[in-house]
Amino acid sequence: EVQLVQSGAEVKKPGESLKISCKGSGYSFTNYWIGWVRQMPGKGLEWMGVIYPGDSRTTYSPSFQGQVTISADKSISTAYLQWSSLKSSDTAMYYCARSEKEAAGRGDFWGQGTLVTVSS
């Protein structure tokens, strides 16, 4: 059974760093893209970027380039989304999603989401 299990909810202060995770199981982790999608409270879906764990190729949306870092550790089948200095505007639900190789960015299977709250 394919599973994407994301790390738990986080409450952080502005300026703090954060790394959330998405662990894949039940499939060959290195043969599928993993992407990240933001959903701010009461809002729509925003595509952030993707990584191909097989060779670590990464593509970002210009809206998120430089604001976050996407990485993966294929030895433990886990992808990450990282901030070096959080802002209150980063408060959102973050989803990871798996994509087939020929369809990078399309979310075939989704994690349960990680709620990030940034507040002083």
Q: In the complex, which residues of this chain contact another protein (CB under 8 A)?
A: 35, 37, 44-47, 50, 59-63, 95, 97, 99, 103-113
CB of 78 to another protein, least distance (A): 18
CB of 13 to another protein, least distance (A): 26
Decide: 33 and 50 in contact? Cβ < 8 Å: yes
Burial of 34 per CB tally in 10 Å (0-12, 13-18, 19+): buried
Q: Is 28 helix (H, G, I), strand (E, B) or coil?
A: coil
Q: Indicate the residue among 24 and 107 with the shorter CB distance to another protein.
A: 107
Element (H, E) at 56: none
CB of 47 to another protein, least distance (A): 5
Q: Is 88 helix (H, G, I), strand (E, B) or coil?
A: helix
Q: Indicate the residue among 83 and 95 with the shorter CB distance to another protein.
A: 95
Going by DSSP bridges, is the β-strand pair 10-12/114-118 parallel, antiparallel, or unpaired?
A: parallel
- Residue 79 corresponds to which tokens in the numbers above? 């992808």
Q: Indicate the residue among 76 and 103 with the shorter CB distance to another protein.
A: 103
CB of 85 to another protein, least distance (A): 22
